[in-house]
């Protein structure tokens, strides 16, 4: 198999030819000579890789498109500055209480058509299950 078409082998059954265009499903397959121009058009607004992939998905395609677009956004200082910065908030452990039944966890569940209430004491890990009659 020629080297230039090996990248298309895995999805060969989804490739078609229509009106002089090669398609993968409904997306136009972009040749190497036009990929930089397509990346520049997608990148024009500097919205980051997720936005660019969202706009590209389903309309254009080339092998490795996702990684090419991600690399473009990662190398762009404007995209990096406007990228949302999620704060890493550490998990906070809750107090278990200093005496039995000071803090409890409650939940409802159904078993064999009957409804139950389960209560768990955080201090002792004691479990109590009660049938709900109404």
Please name each of the domains of the chain with its CATH number: 6-82 (1.10.340.70), 96-134 (no CATH)
Say if residue 122 is exposed, middle or buried (CB neighbours under 10 Å; 0-12, 13-18, 19+). middle
Tokens at residue 19, please? 């009106």
pTM of the model: 0.58
pLDDT in tens, the chain (134 residues): 788 788 888 888 999 999 999 999 999 999 999 999 999 999 998 888 888 999 998 899 999 999 999 999 999 988 888 777 777 788 888 788 889 989 999 999 999 999 999 999 988 989 999 999 98
In the prediction, which pLDDT does 87 show? 73
């Amino acid at each position: 198999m020629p080297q230039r078409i090996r990248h298309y082998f895995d999805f060969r059954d989804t490739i078609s030819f229509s009106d002089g265009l090669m398609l993968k499903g409904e997306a136009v397959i972009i040749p190497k000579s036009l990929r930089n121009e397509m990346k520049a058009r997608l990148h024009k607004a500097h919205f980051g890789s997720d936005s660019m992939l969202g706009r590209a998905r389903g309309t254009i395609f080339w092998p490795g498109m996702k990684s090419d677009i991600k690399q473009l956004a990662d190398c762009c200082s404007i995209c990096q500055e406007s990228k949302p910065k999620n704060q890493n908030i550490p998990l906070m452990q809750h107090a278990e209480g200093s005496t039995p039944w000071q803090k409890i966890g409650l939940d409802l569940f159904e078993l064999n058509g009957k409804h139950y209430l389960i209560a768990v004491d955080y201090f002792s890990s004691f479990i109590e299950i009660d049938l709900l009659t109404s």
